[in-house]
Amino acid sequence: MRTSSLLLPLALAACGSPQPAADAPGPALAAAEARQAARGVDEGRIACARGDAGFARTCTVEQTAGPDGLILTVRDAAGGFHRLRVTGDGRGVAAADGAEPATVSLAGANEIEVAVGDMRYRLPATTKAATAGR
């Protein structure tokens, strides 16, 4: 099953909200980035990067329900892919197969960064801190 819906509710443990960086973008740049992000989500793409390259919305995500839970297959524009299993233990995701582990970190208020090998992916997420008042 393939879906372009990227409103994946990943529950992550978070101790507090991230502080804005000292070199945070100005309002015009932030607005342009928000429009680009919305357009990428509408087209079913997420931001990804290889190595030290900058992030671009060129990767796609497929969601598949399996016996071990929800599996995400993230694909880059060159045809490479990684399979990630959504976890319920606060990590967000873990490598579903392969020899390389997935490293997960918070990338923003509603986003995680997942690194597997030399690829990095930004996935939408909901942190426990963000949902505590609901």
- Which residue, 83, 47, 49, 43, is CA-closest to 63? 83
Whole-angstrom distance, CA of residue 49 vs CA of residue 8: 20
Mean pLDDT of 32-39: 58
Average pLDDT, stretch 8-35? 51
Q: Pick the range with the lowest mean pLDDT from 20-34, 36-50, 85-99.
A: 20-34
- List the domain boundaries for the chain: 27-131
pTM of the shown model: 0.66
What does the pLDDT look like over 36-90, one tens digit per residue? 555 545 577 999 999 999 999 999 999 999 888 999 999 999 999 999 999 988 8
Lowest mean pLDDT among 13-22, 27-36, 84-93, 123-132: 13-22
Q: List the beta bridge partners of residue 123.
A: 112
Q: Taking 70 as the threshold, does the pLDDT of residue 35 lie above it? A: no
Q: Any idea what the Cα angle at residue 82 is, between residues 79 and 51, rounded to 5°?
A: 75
